[in-house]
Each structure stands twice: as structure tokens, then as C-alpha cells.
């Protein structure tokens, strides 16, 4: 019997403007659209199985902090009616250009206890090249506002390998951010998603990737984050706190549920869910999403019932991004398959190439293998 769903992702599709690298579903913030969206999300949440508190909620975007108090009230009321809150970990993404002390205090008063702050860089030229609406001074102020509002669990998002970014500039950003003492750090190499301005610039030859420089930046990240007392628990994630289990105490519990193959609800335009072996994705269009729910229909656009082995392959791929790897017993509980048997050839190849090791109780990637996590994931997938 599959465990009860303990995680919820809510997508907020509104931005001041779209960043040059972003391929997520979003559109310009508008009061009437946000009112309609909030009502639709409340209807969708009202149709979920309730009666138990969620372990994690993650509100992402877009720019969730653009929502007004009345919109947050609709969301909280819907969750409260279903008995799903307070959640042990409730994260909201925050854009420094849209965050202020009043908003931070309002979020904290609602029971939200974690913020993921999209700093990306403390180099104003890099931020401008990414199309961000904030500058370095806004990021510093936003972090201070979160602390003043009482947030004791803050993640900082950073990006490296950005066109025009130098190793010295990355060093300055990284070293200053680490002095802030945030509980969590997430650092990602820039991705050139199709249908984005950044992708088109690369295709036209206006910018060039420098993988050697990106590797040097990652090496610097590993060194500095570790020296600052942050423990790496996933390819791109570091956290503080010893914790009683295999993860640091401040590790993102919501994302761990994804990486460990747990079930989750999704609400909002383009949001995905995975419950009972079935993956569902909502309409990407805000208009179609709202209209469906207003008619009393479900907002789903795609439904995909994966074969058990295909789903197990995805779970194997995601879980090997974790520095703790996949414990064999836990993988069997999550999938019904033995990692050592079904993926024996792949594990042998990964080990032969010097990327991982079969241990007595688990298989895990080593530092070289974590750099190759995307390639490893491709080997684990099953059609």
C-alpha cells in the first residue's frame, strides 16, 4: 500500500518580468488575474484528499511574493479546511526585488517557516545579463528583512557558469553570501532552455559556454561551502545541522521527497503531481486552468500511468544525485525492485569508470560521479 501523500507543490505563475533564462510557466502580474488564480487554486486544493497534516509545502513560481494578503488568505483557508496545515516545512520562493519587511512578516505570520531567496549573484552586471529585477543591494536587504521577520531557515539560490561571469566575480559572490550564515545553499550551473532569450543568444553565437570555467567555479563552491560549515547532501545543495539521519538537519525535506521517489500533490497552472503511480500535469495556460476549475472540472492536461519499472528507473536516477546514494532496502521499499539486480550492469559500469561504489548497504556516487550525475541518470532510466 502506497504511503499517504505528505508533500504539496503550489505553482504561482506571476512575475514582474520573465528572466532571460527562464522556461517556467509565468506571465505578468495582474490584480484581476491573481484574484481569479487564487480562487481556482482554492477549488483545486479543496478537491484533494485531506484529513492529515502535510509534512512539506513548497510554493514556487513565478514570484509567489507578488501575491497580496487576500490571495494568501484564500490559500491558507483552503489548506486549513483540509486539515493539511501547519506543515513541518513550508517553503516560499522569494525574489529579492519583490520582497520587503512587511511581506516577510506577513508570510511568517501565516505559518510559513522557510524562504528560498533567489539571489543568483551579487554582481550587478551578471544580474542584468540574466534579466533579474533586483540588484545586489536588494538581495542584502531582503535577507536582512527575512531575519528581522523571524525566519530561521533560509535558502540562498546562486547561479554559476553565467555568460560574462568571471571566476573572481563568482568568488566574491560566494564568499559574501557565506558570511550571511544562511541555513541552506543551492547552486546551479546556468541551463540554456529552449525558447528563452539566453538560448537564442547562444544559438546566434552572441555568447559562448565555457565548461572549464564552470568546472573551476564548482570546485571553488565545494571548497568554500565546506569550509563555511555547510554539508553537501545533493549535487547542487548544501545545508547546516547534524541531524539524526542521513541528511543535514536543514536539508530541504520537500526536495528529498522528490529525490527519494515519494508521492506529492501539485496545484496551480503547469503543476505536476504523482500519486498512486500516476503522474498528472495541469494545464499550462492560466486561462484554461482557471476555466476548468470554474466549470467544476479537474485542471489536468496530461495523465501518465508509468509502468512500474519505468517509474523505478526515474527514482533510481533522482536518488543517485544524493551524496548518501541509494540504500538497497530503501530502494526496494520505494519501488519493489532490487537495485543490485535490475541495474547490475549499469552499477558495474559506473563503478568501472570510477564514478561510484557498491557498498554493503547502498550504492553511491563519489565526487567524480556526482559531476556526472546527469549521465548516470540516463543509464538508470527504463522505457
- Judge if 34 and 153 occupy the same domain: yes
CA dihedral defined by 244, 245, 248, 254, rounded to 10 degrees?
-120
Provide the pLDDT for residue 3: 66
pLDDT tens figures, 280-331: 999 999 999 999 999 999 999 999 998 999 999 999 999 999 999 999 999 9
- For the record, the C-alpha cell of 16 comes out as 514582474
Arithmetic mean of pLDDT, 176-186: 98
Look at residue 128 and tell me if it is in a domain: yes
Judge if 227 and 367 occupy the same domain: no
Contact 94, 149 (CB under 8 A): no
Distance CA 140, CA 121 (A): 11
Residues 109 and 29 in one domain: yes
Question: Does residue 299 sit within a domain?
Answer: no
pLDDT confidence tier of residue 2, bands split at 50, 70 and 90:
low
- Does residue 233 form part of some domain? yes
Average pLDDT of span 59-74: 96
CATH number at residue 365: 1.10.10.920
Q: What is the pLDDT of residues 27-50, one digit of tens each?
A: 888 899 999 999 999 999 999 987
Per DSSP, helices labelled H in 131-196 are 136-148, 167-180
326 and 232 in a single domain? The answer is no
| Same structural domain, 248 and 333 | no
Total tally of structural domains belonging to the chain: 2
Task: Looking at the structure, tell me whether residues 252 and 315 fall in a common domain.
Answer: no
Alpha helices in 181-229 (DSSP H): 197-203, 211-227
Could you tell me if 9 and 60 are in contact, meaning their C-beta atoms sit under 8 angstroms apart?
Answer: yes
CATH number at residue 93: 3.20.20.70
92 and 239 in one domain? yes
- Whether 292 is covered by a domain: the verdict is no
Nearest to 91 by CA among 139, 59, 45: 59
Q: From the CA atom positions of the chain, what is the Rg in Å? A: 21
Spatial neighbors of 171 by CB under 8 A, at least 6 apart, are 220, 224
What's the whole-model pTM score?
0.96
Q: Are residues 133 and 233 in the same domain?
A: yes
270 in a structural domain: no
Model confidence pLDDT, tens digit, residues 165-177: 999 999 999 999 9
Mean pLDDT, range 103-124, rounded to an integer: 98
**280 part of a folded domain:** no
Domain boundary among 225, 240, 259: 259
pLDDT at residue number 269: 97
254 shares its domain with 323: no
Core vs surface per residue 176-196: b (16+ CB within 10 A) or e: ebbebebbbbbbebbebeeeb
The answer to whether residue 89 sits within a structural domain is yes
- Domain of residue 318 covers 308-380
pLDDT at position 218 is 97
Angle at the Cα of 298 (from 294 to 303), degrees rounded to 5? 150
| C-beta separation of 100 from 145 below 8 A | yes
* Residue 276 forms part of a structural domain: no
pLDDT, position 1: 46
Residues 356 and 220 in one domain: no
Domain check: are 134 and 234 in the same one?
Answer: yes
Q: Does residue 178 share a domain with residue 39?
A: yes
Amino acid at each position: 500500500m502506497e504511503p499517504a501523500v505528505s508533500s504539496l507543490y503550489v505553482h504561482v505563475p506571476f512575475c514582474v518580468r520573465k528572466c532571460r533564462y527562464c522556461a517556467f510557466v509565468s506571465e505578468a502580474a495582474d490584480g484581476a488575474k491573481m484574484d481569479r488564480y487564487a480562487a481556482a487554486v482554492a477549488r483545486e486544493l479543496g478537491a484533494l484528499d485531506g484529513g492529515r497534516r502535510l509534512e512539506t509545502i513548497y510554493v514556487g513560481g513565478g514570484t509567489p511574493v507578488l501575491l497580496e494578503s487576500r490571495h494568501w488568505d484564500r490559500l491558507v483557508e483552503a489548506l486549513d479546511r483540509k486539515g493539511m496545515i501547519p506543515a513541518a516545512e513550508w517553503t516560499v520562493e522569494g525574489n529579492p526585488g519583490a520582497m520587503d519587511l512587511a511581506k516577510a512578516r506577513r508570510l511568517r505570520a501565516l505559518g510559513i517557516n522557510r524562504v528560498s531567496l533567489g539571489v543568483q549573484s551579487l554582481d550587478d552586471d551578471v544580474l542584468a545579463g540574466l534579466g533579474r529585477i533586483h540588484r545586489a543591494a536588494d538581495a542584502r536587504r531582503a535577507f536582512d528583512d527575512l531575519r528581522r521577520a523571524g525566519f530561521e531557515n533560509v535558502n540562498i539560490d546562486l547561479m554559476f557558469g553565467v555568460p560574462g561571469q568571471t571566476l573572481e566575480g563568482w568568488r566574491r559572490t560566494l564568499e559574501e553570501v557565506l558570511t550571511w550564515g544562511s541555513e541552506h545553499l543551492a547552486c546551479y550551473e546556468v541551463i540554456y532552455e529552449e525558447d528563452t532569450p539566453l538560448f537564442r543568444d547562444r544559438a546566434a553565437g552572441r555568447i559562448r559556454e565555457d565548461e572549464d570555467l564552470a568546472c573551476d567555479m564548482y570546485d571553488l563552491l565545494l571548497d568554500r561551502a565546506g569550509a563555511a560549515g555547510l554539508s553537501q547532501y545533493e549535487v547542487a545543495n548544501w545545508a547546516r545541522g547534524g541531524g539524526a539521519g542521513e541528511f543535514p538537519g536543514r536539508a530541504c525535506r520537500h526536495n528529498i521527497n522528490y529525490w527519494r521517489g515519494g508521492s506529492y500533490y501539485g496545484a496551480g497552472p503547469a503543476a505536476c503531481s504523482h500519486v498512486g503511480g500516476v503522474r498528472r500535469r495541469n494545464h499550462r495556460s492560466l486561462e484554461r486552468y482557471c476555466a476548468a476549475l470554474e466549470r467544476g472540472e479537474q485542471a489536468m492536461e496530461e495523465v501518465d500511468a508509468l509502468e512500474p519499472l519505468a517509474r523505478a528507473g526515474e527514482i533510481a536516477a533522482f536518488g543517485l544525485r544524493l551524496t548518501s546514494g541509494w540504500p538497497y532496502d530503501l530502494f526496494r521499499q520505494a519501488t519493489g525492485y532490487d537495485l543490485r539486480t535490475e541495474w547490475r550492469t549499469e552499477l558495474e559500469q559506473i563503478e568501472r569508470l570510477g564514478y561510484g561504489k557498491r557498498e554493503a548497504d547502498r550504492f553511491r556516487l563519489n565526487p567524480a560521479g556526482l559531476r556526472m550525475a546527469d549521465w548516470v541518470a540516463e543509464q538508470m532510466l527504463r522505457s
